[in-house]
A and B are shown apart, each in its own frame.
Chain A
Amino acid sequence: NAGVTQTPKFQVLKTGQSMTLQCAQDMNHNSMYWYRQDPGMGLRLIYYSASEGTTDKGEVPNGYNVSRLNKREFSLRLESAAPSQTSVYFCASSESLAGSYEQYFGPGTRLTVT
């Protein structure tokens, strides 16, 4: 039982390049989330998916797109990377139907855009 896994762990991009961050969970959770974490700003929600086939914008969606490929996988795409997107990206999942809303996080992807 791996929980939430993310790939890659580290990535360096040049301005304008594109990439996709992958996330998968094996806990059969309905809800999945993408956050970014910057110093002094906590975790900010980029996009989330309450169930397979649905996605919604969070606090900071500009410059990102997401795909809920199936119940297990939720990917985040940067179409044209900018230095302002240098951050640590976390994927999380939760089972809100159980009334818990506990977020289970992956280990993060550290992205630098030069």
Chain B
Amino acid sequence: TQLLEQSPQFLSIQEGENLTVYCNSSSVFSSLQWYRQEPGEGPVLLVTVVTGGEVKKLKRLTFQFGDARKDSSLHITAAQPGDTGLYLCAEVKTSYDKVIFGPGTSLSVIP
């Protein structure tokens, strides 16, 4: 059974700081998604990465997929209070038409 690990579990930083969170697997991802979940709401998709070494940018967020497709990182530049939330990585299991989520990184950005 493939396990998804995310680190750190919790992160509290000051507004304007940079941060990186990580997602790792015991085996190769077919493709990987990152979601953000704000308090009291459902998760919302940020990005999907498919190709090893792929880098995608979404404003101040940079997503990288490892060359071996077993890990991914999310880097936020100049964090803002609006970035506060739970960041979830998820593996897409295309053969089974489902998505398996990691435990998440809870980010708090203090003004």
Would you call A41 an interface residue if the criterion is a C-beta within 8 Å of the partner chain's C-beta atoms? Answer: yes
**B interface, how many residues as a size bin?**
20 to 34
Are B103 and A101 within 8 A (Cβ)?
no
Count of chain A to chain B residue pairs whose CB atoms are closer than 8 Å in the complex: 63
- A108 and B43 in contact, given A45-B100, A96-B97, A101-B94 (Cβ under 8 angstroms): no
Q: Which of B4, B99, B100, B101 has the most CB of A within 10 A?
A: B99
Binary CB contact string for chain A from 89 to 114 against chain B (1 if under 8 A, 0 otherwise): 01010101000111101111000000
Instruction: Tell yes or no: A53 within 8 A of B by CB.
Output: no
Q: State the Cβ distance, B110 to closest chain A Cβ, in Å.
A: 21
Partner of A105, one of B6, B44, B96, B100: B44
Residues of A near B48 (CB, < 8 A) are 100-102
Q: In the complex, what distance in Å separates the CA atom of A43 from the CA atom of B99?
A: 10
Q: Is there contact, CB below 8 Å, between A92 and B42? A: yes
Nearest CB in chain A: distance from B29 CB, A? 12
Contact of B42 among A56, A94, A106 (CB under 8 A): A106
Instruction: Give the chain B neighbours of A40 by CB distance below 8 A.
Output: 9, 103
Mask, B30-60, CB within 8 Å of A = 1, is: 0101010000111111001000000000000
**A42 in complex: contacting residue of B94, B97, B103, CB < 8 Å:** B103
8 Å CB contact of A108 from B42, B97, B100, B101 = B42
B43's contact among A41, A50, A101, A103, by CB below 8 Å, is which? A103
Are A105 and B9 also in contact (CB < 8 A) when A33-B98, A42-B88, A96-B97 are? no
Determine whether the beta carbon of B97 is less than 8 Å from that of A105: no
Q: When A and B form their complex, which 7 residue pairs have the shortest distance between CB atoms, in order from nearest?
A: A105-B42, A43-B101, A42-B103, A42-B101, A50-B97, A101-B92, A102-B45
- Known A101-B92, A102-B33; further 17 A-B contacts with Cβ < 8 A: A33-B98, A35-B101, A40-B103, A42-B88, A42-B104, A43-B43, A56-B96, A90-B42, A94-B99, A101-B94, A101-B97, A103-B43, A103-B45, A103-B90, A103-B99, A105-B43, A105-B44
